[in-house]
Amino acid sequence: MASARPALAVWKFASCDGCQLQVLSLEEHLLELAEVVDVAYFLEASSATADGPYDVSLVEGSITTPEDEERIAEVRAASRTLIAIGACATAGGIQALRNFADVDAFAEAVYAHPEYLSTLEDSTPISEHVEVEYELQGCPIDRMQVLEVVSALLQGRRPNIPTHSVCMECKMAGHTCVMVAHGTPCLGPVTNAGCGALCPGFPRGCYGCFGPAETTTTGSLAAWLRHEMGVSQRDLVRSLRTYNAAAAPFAEESRRHDASRA
């Protein structure tokens, strides 16, 4: 199908499909989007696919198998701009918990015939395998950020994707700081903005689903949580090991407090 509109593709690797669902959740904006881009490959939306090359590829999921390693290279080769979307694609996702454990032992425990599995030792982000133009963090991503980055690409401008802390959008939203005023442990100060400070607005602590912000002094926050707020070592490690467990600032800090791997 010949089209003057840029071709958009959406790819899935090891992931839960939640970020692709966020794209579909654009609902009222989907028709606008379809007017300015040609949705050429998006299996979650349509079984009709068009061959590459693609102007923009959104890549969901992490690399966990040898086959993934080959396929991401093919996707990269077919894409002008590659945007990694979500915690899996940008940090290895929740499945990167395997990076802290023995994946063979997991396979033994779960599968009757683990010998049929071919899996990698670690779950890794897309950027560890191919060059990535943009990363949208979050588990799941914020759907409006997809629209923003596509819009910016079309207009030839830099996308407005925040890289600062959740605290800044929390304060702008006028939420009460749950950490200072309620004594609720919160990862907001080291977590990237983009969610609109959803949890503190409710008012719960941020659990870091958007992954590390551009600057993180995770050690300082961890020390405050442990010694001033009475968070146990076990809870601290678990709070850092969720959706972005393998992201370096969270992984390094969790390893520091993990007694079992000291």
Partner 1 sequence: MALAAETARVLDLEGLEALVEALHARDYEVIGPRVRDGVISLAPLSSAADLPIGWSDDQRPGHYRLVERGDDARFGYAVGPDAPKRWLLPPHSEVFEAEGDGTGFTLRPAEPPSRRFAFLGVRPCELAGIAVQDRVFIRDDLRDVTYASRREDILTVAVHCGEPAGTCFCASVGTGPRAEDGFDLALTELVGEDHRFVVEVGSEQGRELLAAVPTEPAAEGDLTVAAAVTDDASRRMGRDLDTEGLREDLLGALGSSRYRDVARRCLACGNCTFVCPTCFCTGLVDRNALDGSHTARERTWNSCFTIGFSYIHGGGIRESVSSRYRQWLTHKLATWQDQFDVLGCVGCGRCITWCPVGIDITEEARAIRATAVPGGGAR
Q: Binding of partner 1 at residue 77 (CB under 8 A)?
A: no
Q: Which is nearer to partner 1, 46 or 215 (CB)?
A: 215
Kindly write out the interface string for residues 29-68 of this chain, putting x where it contacts partner 1 by CB under 8 A and - elsewhere.
Answer: x--xx-xx--------------------------------
Binding residue for partner 1 (CB under 8 A) from 51, 104, 214, 252? 214
Q: How far apart are CA 61 and CA 130, in angstroms?
A: 14
Please check whether residue 195 is in contact with residue 139, taking contact to mean a CB–CB distance below 8 angstroms. Answer: no
Query: Which residue in 86, 188, 194, 205 binds partner 1 (CB under 8 A)?
Result: 188
The C-alpha atoms of residue 210 and residue 75 are separated, in whole angstroms, by 25
Gap between the Cα atoms of 50 and 9, Å rounded = 9
Q: Which of 237, 238, 231, 228 is nearest to 255 (CA)?
A: 237
Answer yes or no whether residue 203 interacts with partner 1 by CB under 8 A. Answer: yes
Q: Are 133 and 80 in contact (CB under 8 A)?
A: no
Residue 127 CB, nearest approach to partner 1 (Å): 18
Rule CB under 8 A: is residue 261 a binding residue for partner 1?
no
Question: Which position among 4, 27, 118, 155 is part of the footprint of partner 1 (CB under 8 A)?
Answer: 155
Size of the site for partner 1 (CB under 8 A): 45
Tell whether residue 147 is a contact of partner 1 (CB under 8 A): yes
Report the residue from 46, 217, 232, 233 that binds partner 1 according to the rule CB under 8 A: 217
Applying the rule CB under 8 A, the residues between 165 and 184 that interact with partner 1 are 165, 167-168, 171-177, 179-182
Query: Per-residue string for binding with partner 1, 10-29, x by CB under 8 A?
Result: -------------------x
Residues within window 224-243 making contact with partner 1, judged by CB under 8 A = 224, 228
3-state secondary structure of 11: strand
Least distance from partner 1 to the Cβ atom of residue 93, Å: 25
User: Which strand (E) or helix (H) includes residue 42?
Assistant: strand 38-42
Q: Which is nearer to partner 1, 99 or 151 (CB)?
A: 151
Alpha helix (H) residue ranges in the chain? 18-24, 30-36, 66-77, 86-91, 103-110, 143-155, 166-173, 178-182, 218-227, 233-240, 248-257
Q: To the nearest whole angstrom, how small is the minimum distance from the Cβ of residue 151 to partner 1?
A: 5
Biggest CA-to-CA distance, the chain? 62
Is 71 among the residues that bind partner 1 (CB under 8 A)? no
Q: Other C-beta atoms within 10 Å of 132: how many?
A: 19
Alpha-carbon distance 151 to 145, whole Å?
Answer: 10
Residues 6+ positions from 262 with CB-CB distance below 8 Å: none
Residues that bind partner 1 (CB under 8 A): 29, 32-33, 35-36, 147-148, 150-151, 154-155, 157, 160, 163-165, 167-168, 171-177, 179-182, 186, 188-190, 203, 213-217, 219-221, 223-224, 228
